[in-house]
Copies of this chain bind each other. A is one copy, B any other.
Amino acid sequence: MSHNSFGHLFRLTTFGESHGPAIGCVVDGCPPMLPLTEADIQQWLDKRRPGQSRFTTQRREPDTVRILSGVFPDEASGQQVTTGTPICLLIENVDQRSKDYSDIKDKFRPGHADFTYLEKYGIRDYRGGGRSSARETASRVAAGAVARKVIPQVSIRGALVQVGPHGIDRDNWDWEEVERNPFFCPDAQAAAKWEGYLDSVRKSGSSCGAVIEIIASGAPAGWGAPVYGKIDQEITSALMSINAVKGVEMGAGFASAAWSGEQNADEMRMENGAPVFTSNHAGGVLGGISTGQDIVARFAVKPTSSILAARQTVTRDGEETEIATKGRHDPCVGIRAVPVGEAMVAIVLADQFLRHRGQVG
C-alpha cells in the first residue's frame, strides 16, 4: 500500500509535517555492507536546502540529518556500513518561526492542498502546509543519497532546462556549469538571462514554473519490470509524486507525437562488438526495460502558488474572501526540485536493480 511509501525491494516511507517536531523517513530493504555516513547524506540535503541564494525561500533550515538505525561499524574496513536493516533518517524542524497562522488557518490558498486535505480528512495541520509542504522532499533527498550507494555504477544528474517561458540552448549544455549558477542550469548564457528574469519575478512577488531534466547514465540494459513496474512508469510515478509537478515525459516525450515512425526510430549498429543505438528518442527505455543508454526524464513544475498578489478564495465557513502570501517562499520552486528529482530517479533505479537481481540473478 502506497500512502506514504514508495518502492518495493528498496522502499522509502516518509513522515512528518512542515512545522511539527521533525520530518524523516525509513529506508527499508537496503543491501548490507554499503559504506554510509551522515556526511554522505548531508551533501545532497545541502544541495536542496533553502536559503542558499536569493532565488529560493529564505526559511533557514539547517536540515541536519541523523541516522537512527541500520548502520554499524565494519571491523574489516573500519567504515560505518549498512546492515541490511531499516535505516531511519531524522531531520528536526528548527525554524518553526512562531507566527500568526490565522490567515491560512481558515482560508484556502489557491493551488495549495488546503481545501483537498480538509475535504478528505476533516482536519489538517495548516502550519506551513503541514504534510503537503515541499519540506517533505528533504526526506526524499536523504533516501536518494542511500539509493545512490546501492547503484554506484549509475550517475544520476539533474538540470533546470526551462524557467518560466525561457528554455536553454542544448548546444550549450555543460554539466560543470550546473554547479556554478544558483539554478542548476547547464547553459551559462541562459543562466545569465534567468538571473534578471527571476529577480523581476521575485521583486514583483510573483512566481514562475520550470522544467527539470534528469539523466541517469550507467544503468545496464535489462532493468525494469513489465508491464506494470516499467522503469519509465515508475520514474514518472516518482517524479509526479513531487509537489507541484504537472507533467513528466521520457526521451523525446510529447514531441514524438508529432513525428513519423521513421524520425522516431532509434536504429541500431554494432560498435566494438556490442549493439549500440544511433539515437535515444526512447529515453533509454523500451517496453519498460532499460536499453543501456542514458535514461532521460523531464518534468514540469507549476509556478509557486504562494504569491504576493491577492487571489480570490473562500473560507472554511463558506465566506468569499481573498488571500495573499506574505511569508518566505520560493519564486520558482522548480529550482530546488532538481535534487529532489535526482533522488526520486535514484530510488526507482535502486529498487529496479534489486528487483532485477531478485528475479533474474
Q: Quick one: given A4-B227, A221-B116, A227-B136, are A123 and B72 in contact (CB under 8 Å)?
A: yes
A230 contacts the other chain (CB 8 A): yes
Which B residues touch A303, using CB under 8 A?
A: 256, 259-261, 263-264
User: Contact at B289–A117, with CB atoms within 8 Å?
Assistant: yes
Q: Quick one: given A248-B236, A261-B304, are A15 and B87 in contact (CB under 8 Å)?
A: yes
Give the shortest distance, in Å, between A143 (CB) and chain B (any CB): 12
State the oligomeric state as a number of copies: 4
User: Contact at A124–B72, with CB atoms within 8 Å?
Assistant: yes
User: Contact at B230–A260, with CB atoms within 8 Å?
Assistant: no
A246 contacts the other chain (CB 8 A): yes
User: Contact at B9–A13, with CB atoms within 8 Å?
Assistant: no
Contacting residue for A320 out of B251, B252, B270, CB 8 A: B270
A11 contacts the other chain (CB 8 A): yes
The segment from A53-61, A173-181, A353-361 that touches chain B is A353-361
User: Contact at A241–B267, with CB atoms within 8 Å?
Assistant: no
The segment from A41-49, A62-70, A186-194 that touches chain B is A62-70
Give the shortest distance, in Å, between A278 (CB) and chain B (any CB): 7
Scan residues 268-304 of chain A and give those whose CB is less than 8 A from a CB of chain B.
Answer: 268-270, 273-275, 278, 281-283, 285-292, 300-304
A112 contacts the other chain (CB 8 A): yes
Give the shortest distance, in Å, between A343 (CB) and chain B (any CB): 13
Contacting residue for A302 out of B70, B256, B311, CB 8 A: B256
Give the shortest distance, in Å, between A165 (CB) and chain B (any CB): 4
Give the shortest distance, in Å, between A5 (CB) and chain B (any CB): 6
Complex CA gap A334/B80 in Å reads 35
Complex CA gap A122/B81 in Å reads 11
Contacting residue for A312 out of B120, B125, B234, B278, CB 8 A: B278
A169 contacts the other chain (CB 8 A): no
Complex CA gap A222/B83 in Å reads 14
Which B residues touch A314, using CB under 8 A?
A: 268-270, 275
Complex CA gap A210/B258 in Å reads 7
User: Contact at B250–A22, with CB atoms within 8 Å?
Assistant: no
Which B residues touch A285, using CB under 8 A?
A: 116
User: Contact at A300–B164, with CB atoms within 8 Å?
Assistant: no
Q: 1/0 contact trace for A106-132 toward B, CB 8 Å?
A: 001011110111011111110000111
Which B residues touch A29, using CB under 8 A?
A: 1, 3, 359
Which B residues touch A213, using CB under 8 A?
A: none
Give the shortest distance, in Å, between A322 (CB) and chain B (any CB): 9
User: Contact at A6–B115, with CB atoms within 8 Å?
Assistant: no
Q: Quick one: closest B residue to A303, CB to CB?
A: B261
A313 contacts the other chain (CB 8 A): yes
User: Contact at B256–A88, with CB atoms within 8 Å?
Assistant: no
**Can you name 25 A-B residue pairings with CB atoms under 8 Å?**
A2-B8, A3-B11, A3-B229, A4-B228, A5-B228, A9-B355, A13-B13, A16-B68, A16-B69, A20-B69, A21-B68, A81-B123, A83-B124, A111-B264, A112-B286, A115-B275, A119-B289, A162-B257, A208-B260, A236-B240, A246-B257, A254-B254, A254-B300, A354-B359, A355-B358
